[in-house]
Amino acid sequence: MIFTGRKRSRPARRRFHGDGVVGGVLIAVVIIGALLAPWLPLPDPLTNNLVAMFQPPGSEGHWLGTDQLGRDLLARILSGARLSLFVVLVAAAIAAVIGTLLGMLAGYLGGWVDALIMRLMDIQLAVPFILLILLVMALFGTTLTNIIVIMGVTSWAIYARVARAKTLEIRELEYIDAVKAMGFSTPRILLRHVLPNLATPLVVLLTLDIPRLIVLEASIGFLGMGIQPPTPTLGNLIGEGRSYMLLAQWLVFWPGVVIAMLVIGCNLLGDHLLRKTHTRLD
């Protein structure tokens, strides 16, 4: 049998682009739960109840069980998530501001300024973070402010690299030559004409960098160099629960699930934004 005419093409399969929605939902669940925790009918996360030690999940109103001192694990996870997110977001903001400003200066001014900032970046990347935080905590103590500052100050290099690369492209555009000819000062050009063009790649980069800071903050708490118990964070909850893993696995499992939700959610959302904005971060 001979068929004449054109063969009808099959409709192209639609690619799944719901990763941004899935990532946003994972992040929203943790953030909303952490913010609403003080108003939820949960026990105080710091109150001991030795009668209720190691209660399994779902027993006597403890949805996720209790720990070695009878404290409600869900209340402690939500409280710890709220504090961990605060530390991570403030540290990320500090890193983004420092890195963006230094990157813009390096890319726009060039010369010895560019060389100096790039060498500072190389030095910062060469120093192991754990060694640096051990030194800072030994000298100044494990306070919330110290943790935020050290995480922010040691995370600026990646933002500086992206800001510098984009500024090198932007400074060659014609409208930059036009505003220079109009006599605009360098700070005005950087803040009003260069920075707005850096907003999209830096927001995407921030979304992709936050998971690293989440894991970093959790690692600090797990090693006992972060915020000290009884104040909960996601990291020190796992650090406390590791000694009881054979007896009460939920003490490690559920904080790990929350960390995984945040990390996976941020990565999915960052990949979605990266694809939608057609942004290059190299």
pLDDT digits (tens, 9 = 90+) for 89-119: 999 999 999 999 999 999 999 889 999 999 9
Q: The dihedral of CA 63, 268, 234, 243: what is its sign?
A: positive
Output the average pLDDT for the chain.
87
Please indicate, yes or no, if residue 45 is contained in any of the structural domains: no
Q: Are 94 and 152 in contact (CB under 8 A)?
A: yes
Please indicate, yes or no, if residue 220 is contained in any of the structural domains: yes
What pLDDT score does 142 carry?
80
Please indicate, yes or no, if residue 267 is contained in any of the structural domains: yes
Residue 2 — very low, low, confident or very high, per pLDDT cuts 50/70/90? very low
Residue 17 — very low, low, confident or very high, per pLDDT cuts 50/70/90? low
pLDDT exceeds cutoff 50 at 189: yes
Range of 203's domain? 20-36+67-277
Please indicate, yes or no, if residue 184 is contained in any of the structural domains: yes
The proportion of the chain whose per-residue pLDDT surpasses 70, expressed as a percent, equals 92
pLDDT digits (tens, 9 = 90+) for 222-260: 988 888 888 999 999 999 999 898 899 999 999 999 999
Q: Which residue has the higher pLDDT, 125 or 32?
A: 32
The proportion of the chain whose per-residue pLDDT surpasses 90, expressed as a percent, equals 53
Pairwise CA distance, residues 127 & 8, whole Å: 61
Among 109-113, 161-165, 180-184, the range scoring the smallest mean pLDDT is: 180-184
What pLDDT score does 209 carry?
92
Give the residue carrying structure tokens 């694990």: 73
Q: How many domains does the chain have?
A: 1
CATH number at residue 175: 1.10.3720.10
Count how many residues are written for the chain: 282
Please indicate, yes or no, if residue 55 is contained in any of the structural domains: no
Q: pTM for the complete prediction?
A: 0.88
Please indicate, yes or no, if residue 15 is contained in any of the structural domains: no
What DSSP line would sit under 33-93, residue for residue? HHHHGGGSS---TT---GGGTTPPTTBTTBTT-B-TTS-BHHHHHHHHHHHHHHHHHHHHH
Please indicate, yes or no, if residue 198 is contained in any of the structural domains: yes
Please indicate, yes or no, if residue 44 is contained in any of the structural domains: no
pLDDT digits (tens, 9 = 90+) for 131-153: 787 788 778 878 889 889 989 98
pLDDT exceeds cutoff 50 at 12: no
Q: Are 244 and 68 in contact (CB under 8 A)?
A: yes
User: What single-letter amino acid sits at 50?
Assistant: L
What pLDDT score does 176 carry?
83
Q: Which residue has the higher pLDDT, 137 or 168?
A: 168
